[in-house]
Amino acid sequence: MLSVILAALLHVSPTVPPVSGEYIEARTASVFAGPCHYNGEVLTTGRDAVMAWSIEHGSWNHVDLSNVRIAAAVSSDANLADASAVHHCEIQIDSFASDAQAKAVVAWLNAHCDQSLGTIQHIRRAPVTFTQDGEHLTFKADGFASADVQGMPNHESCKQPSLVWYSPLIPLEHRLVGYTQQAGYSAATLGDAWNRSDENSAFFGHFSF
């Protein structure tokens, strides 16, 4: 019996650490607002968002994804929070990533973010930068999308259900609400280009999955 147990233990696969890092998203609707403001937007806007991941650690399909940066633009036929809305997206993978990393990160996104991203219509390879200074986060994907977000000053008020109306498009640990100084989508292949500023339309935080 002991030999059987030892043999089984030898064949147990080691636990694979999750892919983890920092994330930012900015939408075309306020995520932190009063009820009247929310009701004025929910049926007419909030159908688009830009987002970015800066992977710090982890691997997928035996490929190390450390330091890979990805940006995405997602669009929908209704508010992104509508469970019946059909999502589609474009993604841009930093040109620093290898072909193997690009293939693996697309598989990782499909495995964990498919409901939020929907159908990936186009994959780009071009520079993506992601910076974080405390609660000030920015990303820029050349010729594609960008965002500049500052954390809200009062974290406690950003936990109130009557003020925060959405959840981030991906699971986050200790999600924070951000003030969008600028966010936009410029590629205009997924849909119309857009640019917005000066609104409470962002989420950011740490991901691990």
Q: Does 79 fall in a domain?
A: yes
Rounded CA separation 173/70 (Å): 19
Structural domain including 24 reads: 17-189
Please give the structure tokens belonging to residue 207: 């991901």
pLDDT of 190 > 80? The answer is yes
pLDDT tens, position by position, 97-121: 999 999 999 999 999 999 999 999 9
Report how many domains make up the chain.
1
Q: Would you state the pLDDT for residue 6?
A: 47
pLDDT tens, position by position, 23-73: 999 999 999 998 889 888 988 899 999 999 999 999 999 999 999 999 999
pLDDT of 192 > 80? The answer is yes
Task: Return the percentage of the chain with pLDDT > 90, whole number.
Answer: 81
Q: Does 198 fall in a domain?
A: no
DSSP 8-state code for residue 46: -
pLDDT tens, position by position, 166-182: 999 999 999 999 999 99
pTM of structure: 0.91
Cα 66–chain centre separation: 17
Q: How do strand 119-125 and strand 87-93 relate by DSSP bridges?
A: parallel
Q: Does 117 fall in a domain?
A: yes
Q: Does 3 fall in a domain?
A: no
Q: Does 194 fall in a domain?
A: no
